[in-house]
A and B are shown apart, each in its own frame.
Chain A
């Protein structure tokens, strides 16, 4: 990743709570898929399809939240966790290919 891209993505992450948290709370937001599934459930007249993610939690960072932090701060931290993860993945993949080549 170039330094310019990293700075650009970091800036986007820093402002992301405006869109991902504040406006979401202001306007009320559901994933488009959730709305489509609501329509499917309404057409069937009972709950055919149920999202089990509330019952199966395997990460402390579910829904881009961080325990102990307000939602907006958790959203920013999550963004940086994601960026760091992609950087780590890049290093791992590069190292793997370098070892294979050598």
Chain B
């Protein structure tokens, strides 16, 4: 594995499988009364969040703490960053404090990439602008594998699994990372979106493209809904929220067109009633709560593998 995890493209198929299988090992810990492992004792993980994202931050925080790492949460609000300190100076400060890993969330595409040039520790991209969010893709892949393959999941990839990703692909770091990772793992990915919300050169991506969600549903094993950001709703990407919802929202009628085994995913936070109906979000086909739980184990696996933890977790009780 590379030293940093900045893009899902950094992961070979072997790397990705190693992370997923390690996450499976770690998941079994969640059932034990004492969830903590000593593997990263004495190591420091900094959560560097320039953008509000409580759910992602606490997921990384829980992951690092369960591996016994020291965790420093650095939020840009109210810090020197708010007073105009540059990303580089923040990086040098963290460097001086001896961070072994820096988990960065930033509103600018490429921020994780830049940071990696300024610090010695490992950089984990927890979402950079409209670029990538690779640990989200890993937890999604983990969730897909577990749900669709159950006990036989371990050691297997996603060959032949058909995944449809729906919505604002143009601005979605989740979509970018998922297209790269899921295709690396052998899944057949289709993007379903209005043309305004697809990148111009999407034909160069390793996936298919459709403007018609309904025709994709019967052939999908997985339908992943993307969040519609508030700021898109007024910028002429589509005429109205109602029309978007009618054409690309997941409601019960659409869910009924999916095969019986197929699942509905959403990276959260959801706009209930816009891209996903409440009945769908709360249905048994929804994996939304599982995705959150799987986020912790997947991020534990990433930190463990990047920081080369000393003791592999004992699975026996």
Instruction: Please say whether chains A and B are actual partners in one complex.
Output: no
Write the residues of chain A forming the contact surface with B, with a CB cutoff of 8 angstroms.
none
Write the residues of chain B forming the contact surface with A, with a CB cutoff of 8 angstroms.
none
